[in-house]
Amino acid sequence: MTADATLDVVGIGNALVDVLSHETDEFVAAQGLVKSAMTLIEPDRAEQLYQAMGPGIEMSGGSAANTIAGVASFGARAAYMGRVYDDQLGAVFAHDLRAQGVTFDNKPASDGPSTGRCLIVVTPDAHRTMNTCLGASALFGPDDVDPDLVRSAQVTFLEGYLFDRPESKEAYWVASKYARDAGRKVALTLSDLFCVERHHDDFVPLVRERVDILFANEAEACALWGCDEVGAAVERARAEVAVACITLSEKGSIVVAGAETHEIPARPVDVVDTTGAGDLYASGFLYGYTSGLPLARCGELGTLAAAEVISHIGARPDVPLSTLLS
Amino acid sequence: MTADATLDVVGIGNALVDVLSHETDEFVAAQGLVKSAMTLIEPDRAEQLYQAMGPGIEMSGGSAANTIAGVASFGARAAYMGRVYDDQLGAVFAHDLRAQGVTFDNKPASDGPSTGRCLIVVTPDAHRTMNTCLGASALFGPDDVDPDLVRSAQVTFLEGYLFDRPESKEAYWVASKYARDAGRKVALTLSDLFCVERHHDDFVPLVRERVDILFANEAEACALWGCDEVGAAVERARAEVAVACITLSEKGSIVVAGAETHEIPARPVDVVDTTGAGDLYASGFLYGYTSGLPLARCGELGTLAAAEVISHIGARPDVPLSTLLS
């Protein structure tokens, strides 16, 4: 690790507030939702779906923001870049990151769409079906990247979900260049199968040229490299990036780095809501990585944080993750 | 009960969104909060306290609104009157009531303060310390009362917390007159010891002249009638109102009505967050009462609903209360 870094991890992603409600599988079917996936929706559809949903609870979300909140919860030095509007939900999003000790300095937008929301339907099987109205978050571009923040962090963490519009793709190329030029590392999570499929041809060069640490579940890894089974994807990951974490849900995860291979078992846990599982796996891994721990231990910390977040409603830790360290 | 009623219960109260965070007793002391009570705070102080609080979750609240959501969750016909501003939290409040099947027709205000918030600090002993910035809700007045809604409901339920400004006191006298003139019943919860002490001289005549069903905990009942011990307060309640429910926290509740006295034991439950216990006791009781059930059973249903709400975070039911009926 680079000794002079003043931050451990800075994350970039869609700044969203989650709205969660418990619904039946019949509701998911009747609303034509893509179960367990993340679907982008327009404001009109978001309003319509919200009206159909039951009473909700609101919590700050956003994939990379959840990861960064988890990194800070472990006690590491963390910052976040993302775009909110100057409204009540934007203030909630900013508060919740700062209250976790995360540096978040992007000024709220004073024109354009309101703060993004993710309408999350949790079904009795604990799966979450996400319907995201990006709002202000989608307009993140290269000018929203703070070069000094990127240069000061050991790792810049990018969320695949944001890699959607030309401006945000440009922001990732810009941010990863600042990081690399400063001798820092770049981490990326592929986020979602459909996301990988939509932007496949743009993800491949970004991963090859700029990514040091890749997070992906098996379906996303297979889609990225056109593999039929996870073993082949793991070998492609080994060849393409310095460190890759392939998560396998209840079967745990595989961490590969050059000749190293670590199979990390999942932790037994009563699953209440899978929202944030992948986000928090990245928290634990990056906390370990920036602390200079061995990769196998980094993977275990990822599993530890993921187990905590799926044991309750919501995508951020309920307890300081530092208290779970032993 | 009156056969021609098209609604079972209509509630009036402060329309608030709760912001909950877990904090230590040291935090409560350092912030100078009045533990386990409800304190009214100004917008500047609310902003300052919010900045000091950890990451939060947002959920619709408001005492009478929680009661009414519970009444609807049992399957009864319910409506609510209260005042929100035309902002994101106001929309959340309205959504969550309507999604529960509650009629809520007050148009959001287009000028004046923003929607009210209740900053709730939950300590490790599961107690909640509430700090309320009333915002738009405080401006509720007689013109916000819909006479037809009151006349159509078997019971009009009033929350003591709202009984604070001259306009809202006037609104309660007006609403209770509409109810009584239509042959309906009026219920009141005293809400909070400090609330009773602040408005003692106004509560006494309201209770005597207009209230058929009174909800109070032992401290509130003693304060209202200047009694030193709960036995004396129970006897005053018996003399002053047709039906009184005196709640005794973990010792259960006492329901008195003329010669009838029912002692209802509490239910054993792992207490996670006491927010909403009194509100949901009123839900169960009023559901039973408007269903024509015996008073002892009404008290049991109150206990049932209170036990559900204190077993999880938040002041509204996590499951349809109708599914708990047997």
**DSSP secondary structure string for all residues of A103-170:** EE-PPPBSSSSPPEEEEEEEPTTS-EEEEEE-GGGGG--GGG--HHHHHHEEEEEEEGGGTTSHHHHH
Beta partners for residue A215, in sequence order: A189, A245
pLDDT tens column, A52-85: 999 999 999 999 999 999 999 999 999 999 999 9
Provide the percentage of residues in chain A whose pLDDT is more than 90.
Answer: 94
- Tell me if chain A has a CB within 8 Å of the CB of B88: yes
Q: How many CB pairs under 8 A join A and B?
A: 60
The beta-carbon neighbor of B88 closest among A54, A87, A96 is: A87
Which candidate, A251, A227, A253, A252, places its Cα nearest to that of A239? A227
Residue type at position B221: A
Q: Is A191 helix (H, G, I), strand (E, B) or coil?
A: coil
- Contact assignment for A96 to B55 by CB distance below 8 Å: yes
Rounded Cα gap, residues B10 and A111, in angstroms: 40
Name the E strands within B49-136. Answer: 57-60, 78-81, 103-104, 116-122, 128-133
Beta partners for residue B19, in sequence order: B58, B119
Rounded Cα gap, residues A265 and A276, in angstroms: 18
pTM: 0.94
* pLDDT one digit per residue (tens) for chain A, 326 residues: 454 899 999 999 999 999 999 999 999 999 999 999 899 999 999 999 999 999 999 999 999 999 999 999 999 999 999 999 999 999 999 999 999 999 999 999 999 999 999 999 999 998 999 999 999 999 999 999 999 999 999 999 999 999 989 999 999 999 999 999 999 999 999 999 989 999 999 999 999 999 999 999 999 999 999 999 999 999 999 999 999 999 998 899 999 999 999 999 999 999 998 889 999 999 999 999 999 999 999 999 999 999 999 999 899 999 999 999 98
Rounded Cα gap, residues A210 and A223, in angstroms: 19
Superfamily of domain A7-14+61-103+139-324: Ribokinase (3.40.1190.20)
Q: Is the ipTM of this complex over 0.85?
A: yes
Rounded Cα gap, residues A191 and A276, in angstroms: 11
- Tell me if chain A has a CB within 8 Å of the CB of B27: no
- Contact assignment for B57 to A58 by CB distance below 8 Å: yes
Superfamily of domain B7-13+63-113+135-324: Ribokinase (3.40.1190.20)
Which candidate, B186, B256, B249, places its Cα nearest to that of B218? B249
For residue B55, which residues of chain A lie inside 8 Å, CB to CB? 60, 69, 95-97, 99-100, 316
pLDDT tens column, A79-107: 999 999 999 999 999 999 999 999 999 99
Domain ranges across chain A: 7-14+61-103+139-324
- Can you give the C-alpha Rg of chain A in angstroms? 18
For helices B200-210 and B166-181, the axis angle rounded to 10 degrees is 10
- Contact assignment for B55 to A87 by CB distance below 8 Å: no
Rounded Cα gap, residues B16 and A321, in angstroms: 31
